Amino acid sequence: QVQLAESGGGAVQAGGSLRLSCAAPKNTYSCMGWFRQPTGKEREGVAAIGSDGRTLYADSVKGRFTISQDNAKNTLYLQMDSLKPEDTAMYYCAADADLTIDDVVVTHTVPYFDYLGQGTQVTVSS
């Protein structure tokens, strides 16, 4: 069982920044990503990165969030800048063993990857 562990969440004012990290056991993942779930709402994928480094973003975060990975450290990151109150949610790391970045519709596919983390809360106040 693959266990992903997120960290870096917290409370920040609108316009601020946070960087989320996800420690992933050494493995061959074809695709990794981040999704979020606001309280009482559906899951929404926000970003994905393929094994070739190509990235995808949801329109709601494009230009503000950056996904990256450090293969040497087996860590996935999500740099979140210009945060808005509507970004408030539980954020989850996800990884898939089969899907490639070409298979991904970021908003709908990432939340259903093979492996999911436990989540880290991000709260943005106005």
Give the separation between CA 116 and CA 113, rounded to whole angstroms.
7
Q: Read off the pLDDT band of 26 (50, 70, 90).
A: confident
Q: What pLDDT, on the 0 to 100 scale, is given for residue 27?
A: 78
Could you count the other beta carbons within 10 Å of the beta carbon of residue 17?
A: 11
Q: What is the mean pLDDT of residues 13-32?
A: 93
**What Å distances lie between residue 99 and 33, 51, 69, 86, CA to CA?**
12, 10, 17, 29
pLDDT of 71: 87
> Tens digits of per-residue pLDDT, 54-76?
999 999 999 999 999 998 889 99
Tokens of 51: 């094994």
pLDDT in tens, 74-88: 999 999 999 999 999
Q: What local confidence, expressed as pLDDT, does residue 28 receive?
A: 80
Q: What is the pLDDT of residue 18?
A: 98
CB 120 within 8 A of CB 77: no
Let me know: does 113 contact 101? Beta carbons within 8 Å.
no
Mean pLDDT, range 38-64, rounded to an integer = 97
Nearest-angstrom CA–CA distance, 9 and 109: 23
pLDDT of 1 higher than 80? no
